[in-house]
Amino acid sequence: MRLTYRYKLNILTHQRHTIDRWIELARRQYNFRLGERFRWFDATRHPVNCCPIDGGYGPVNSVENVFADIPLSKVLTKGKNKGAVYSLVNEGYVDWANVQKDGLKQTKLLFPEYKEMPAQMLQNVIERVNRAFDRFTQGDGNGKRSGKPKFKGKPYYSSICWPQDVKVLSAGLVSLPKLGELEFIEHRPIPVGFTVKTATIIRDGDGYHICFSLEDKFVPIVDVEIHPTESNSKGIDVGLEFYVSDSNGSQYEFPRWFRKAEKRIAKLQARKAKKPHGSIARKVLAVKISRLQAKVARSRKDWQFKLAYQLFADCDVIFCEDLQLKNLIRRNKLKTDDAGKIAANGQAAKSGMNKSMTDAALGQFLNQILPWVASKLGKQVIKIKPNGTSQYCQACLSKVPKGIGARWHDCDNCGESLPRDVNSGKLIKRIGLATVGEEQRSLKTALTCGRLKLIQPQHTVKSEDEARSLSFA
Ligand SMILES: [Zn+2]
């Protein structure tokens, strides 16, 4: 099992200067290597609709020119296997990361300042470039591709990593290669049995932090398969009025962290905007703002972790909705009136909701924190398709249409009356339990496989449309 523990550093001035310098050197190296990758990337592919004559875009970037600089094999100069030759071409593909790592020797000749950095730290920079590029061209483990990697400006590159030889000497003291001993505030001890594999120093709004990646090979990561039952599971519905409403009827209100700090941040930003660029006053205000923002983010995360543990206290399986949060946080479409002029589209209200939605960080909670806490406790999170979970009655499954403003669920058919979100929580649990073993977990599947049955409404069906929606045909 691998864990990451983060501590605040008590950093000395000269260490701070060294770290700042190394971060800047690493950033330049990152940008240079990224540019190099782009150059190779452009040269080794060509438009599909035309036949390339020189294989690339002009003589500078032609394949021949690009490949002329690239070594295709590597001879080891030290270590046990000294003299061994390694090919840098793997099944017809150039191993770009290793080619670039090989090029670090040249970098150190041309720019001697790189010699003071630990060699592994520089190699880690190249691995970062490689990861960013792989995610762009191939996608991550789930095949999800990221956008084109960006060149990093100063505020966007703020960490350096020691991938090996990190020694924690005693409580609150760590030794890092080429930097020496560093003090950190050990607010929680490193768990027994875990060894420190890597250390990353992060420059943050309010100082410097160190992240240890801890590993214990004897603690296995197993994907548990728990059979959900009525008694060991619960359904949760997330929202903005109440953060979480569960199927037992408990509702958890959420502290609106950003909303509370918003006014103070806005005031500081207005003051900062008046100060001239490059002035000390402007920098001081920028630090104040980023500290406030960091505080908001941390209090939110802390609260989310505590909530996740609280939710798992009395159950083993949690059913929740599989929300596409990116689609929820969108601007309204532009509307035009008959004359072609821009008409009101309700964006002001939507902006407010988007702000609250971002503040709530539901995605962070549902996709990261809840599954992580579950895996740590040996419990399980199961996601359900959200279609219909707020529109149907959990008791009789008849449709009770309601707008986004309606906060109460009143069923005409069976007389069920309870808060809207609790109804959803209960329904999510029923769907979850009814679709065990099904490929798609949704209300529709639960009804079609016959494990959930619609109780026909008592009142007369008024229109064809309604009848259709009731029978789910
Ligand atoms: Zn009902």
Asked whether the beta carbons of 120 and 22 are under 8 A apart, the reply is no
CA distance 473 to 469: 7
Q: Tell me: the pLDDT tens digits for 29-58?
A: 999 999 999 888 877 665 555 554 544 444
Distance 437 CA to ligand 1 centre (A): 26
Asked whether the predicted pLDDT for residue 125 surpasses 50, the reply is yes
397 alpha carbon – ligand 1 mean position (Å): 6
Domain boundaries, the chain: 233-334+348-471
375: left (phi over 0), alpha (psi -120 to 50) or beta: alpha
Distance from the alpha carbon of residue 413 to the mean position of ligand 1, in angstroms: 5
Protein residues near ligand 1, an ion, with CB under 5 A = 393, 395-396, 411, 413-414, 416
Ligand 1 centre to CA of 408 (Å) is 13
Could you give the CA distance from residue 181 to residue 188 in angstroms, rounded to a whole number?
Answer: 19
Give the model's confidence band at 355: pLDDT under 50 very low, under 70 low, under 90 confident, else very high: confident
Distance 395 CA to ligand 1 centre (A): 5
- Of the pLDDT bands very low, low, confident and very high (cuts 50, 70, 90), residue 465 is low
Would you say 326 and 389 are in contact if contact means Cβ atoms under 8 Å apart?
A: no
What separation in Å is there between the alpha carbon of 409 and the centre of ligand 1? Answer: 9
Structure tokens at 425: 């929580």
Cα of 226 vs centre of ligand 1, distance in Å, is 30
Distance of CA 388 from the midpoint of ligand 1 (Å): 14
Smallest CA-to-CA distance from 357 within 383, 324, 385 is with 324
| Res. 402: pLDDT tops 50 | yes
Structure tokens at 272: 């900062």
Give the Cα separation of 319 and 366 in Å (integer): 11
Whole-structure pTM over 0.85, yes or no?
Answer: no
CA distances from 275 to 193, 248, 262, 263 (A): 52, 54, 20, 19
Residue 401 Cα, ligand 1 centroid: separation in angstroms?
12
User: Which segments of 44-173 does DSSP mark as H helices, in order?
Assistant: 63-68, 96-102, 104-110, 119-137
Q: Is the pLDDT of residue 143 over 80?
A: no
Strands 85-87 and 89-90, how do they pair?
Answer: unpaired
Chain centroid to Cα 402, Å, comes to: 32
Pick 14 or 48 by higher pLDDT. 14
What is the 319 CA–ligand 1 centroid distance (Å)?
Answer: 21
Q: What percentage of the chain has pLDDT greater than the value 90? A: 38
What pLDDT band is residue 65 in, cutting at 50, 70 and 90?
low
d(Cα 356, Cα 139) in Å, to the nearest integer?
31
Quick one: pLDDT at residue 80? 83
Give the pLDDT confidence of 160-180 residue by residue, as tens digits.
Answer: 999 999 999 988 999 999 999
How far is ligand 1, taken at its centre, from the CA of residue 419, in Å?
A: 13
In the reported structure, the alpha carbon of residue 270 is separated from the centroid of ligand 1 by a whole-number distance in angstroms of 52
Q: For residue 403, how far is its CA from the centre of ligand 1 (angstroms)?
A: 17
**256 CA to middle of ligand 1, Å?**
33
- Give strand ranges (E) for 171-300: 173-176, 180-185, 195-204, 207-215, 233-238, 244-246, 251-252
Provide φ and ψ at 226, rounded to 5°.
-100, 135
Q: Which residue has the higher pLDDT, 423 or 218?
A: 423
Distance 442 CA to ligand 1 centre (A): 19
**Residue 399 C-alpha to ligand 1 middle, in angstroms?**
8
Tell me how far the alpha carbon of residue 229 lies from the centroid of ligand 1, in angstroms.
23
Cα(421) to centroid of ligand 1, in Å? 15
Q: Residue 450: left (phi > 0), alpha (psi -120 to 50), or beta?
A: left
Assess whether pLDDT exceeds 80 at residue 104: yes
What spacing in Å lies between the alpha carbon of 440 and ligand 1's midpoint? 24
The arithmetic mean of pLDDT across residues 322-339, rounded, is 76
CA of 233 to the centre of ligand 1 (A): 22
> 448: CA distance to ligand 1 center in Å?
19
- Compute the distance from residue 428 Cα to the ligand 1 centre, in Å: 15
Sign of the alpha-carbon torsion through 397, 402, 404, 408 = negative
Tens digit of each residue's pLDDT (9 = 90 or more) over 231-252: 999 999 988 888 899 999 899 9
CA of 405 to the centre of ligand 1 (A): 20
Distance from Cα 190 to the centre of ligand 1, integer Å: 52
Confidence of residue 201 (pLDDT cuts 50, 70, 90): very high
Average pLDDT, the chain: 84
CA of 310 to the centre of ligand 1 (A): 30
pLDDT at position 473 is: 37
Spacing, Cα 423 to ligand 1 middle (Å): 10
Distance 457 CA to ligand 1 centre (A): 8
For residue 314, how far is its CA from the centre of ligand 1 (angstroms)? 27
The pLDDT score that the predictor gives to residue 205 is 77
Q: What is the pLDDT of residue 45?
A: 66
Q: How far is the CA of 470 from the centre of ligand 1 (A)?
A: 12
Calculate how far, in angstroms, residue 313's C-alpha sits from the geometric centre of ligand 1.
30
Check whether 327 has a pLDDT greater than 80: no
Across residues 429-433, what is the average pLDDT? 90
What is the C-alpha to C-alpha distance for residues 328 and 260, in angstroms, rounded to an integer? Answer: 23
